Amino acid sequence: MNRLSGFRSPVSALAPLVLCIAFAAGCGKPLDDDPKAPVLVTVSQTYLTIENQAGSALVDGIVELVPSGVLSPYRANLPRIEAGSNRQVLLDRFSGAGGARFLRGATRIRSVRLTATDLTGKTYKREVPFQ
């Protein structure tokens, strides 16, 4: 039996696509882990510590636990943090899509993303690895 000219098997047609996806996944942006940032995020076994070293109070913000893969992030509202103080946010306060609570052993988290605004309207963004 002869092959038809121009015929490509489905496997050989998908190989370049799979290689491109694998390459793009490995080339993600590096996480911000600057120790001189005005907002510090420290991950503990049961909570996150957020320290405000900016010159103004953080009044509006959100903290997200970004999972590996395609799942939506787990979110928690950031309470007001005065300048020079810190706040601890329990990990079981984070909820995902549909209200599902975060369980540390059930989902693999890649990073913690913080977005906050201070009294002057300046926005701070920070993303650190989740250990």
d(CA 68, CA 64): 13
Q: Report how far Cα 25 is from the mean position of its chain's Cα atoms.
A: 15
Please, what is the average pLDDT of the chain?
A: 81
Q: How far is CA 59 from CA 36, 92, 125, 128, in A?
A: 21, 22, 14, 21
Q: Which domain holds residue 92?
A: 32-129
Whether residue 6 is contained in a domain is answered as: no
Q: What is the pLDDT of residue 97?
A: 87
35 vs 112: which has the higher pLDDT: 112
Whether residue 37 is contained in a domain is answered as: yes
* CATH code: domain of residue 42: 2.60.40
pLDDT-derived band at 65 (thresholds 50, 70, 90) equals very high
User: For residue range 93-117, what is the model confidence (pLDDT) as tens digits?
Assistant: 999 988 889 998 888 999 999 999 9
Whether residue 5 is contained in a domain is answered as: no
- What's the token pair of residue 47? 């909570």
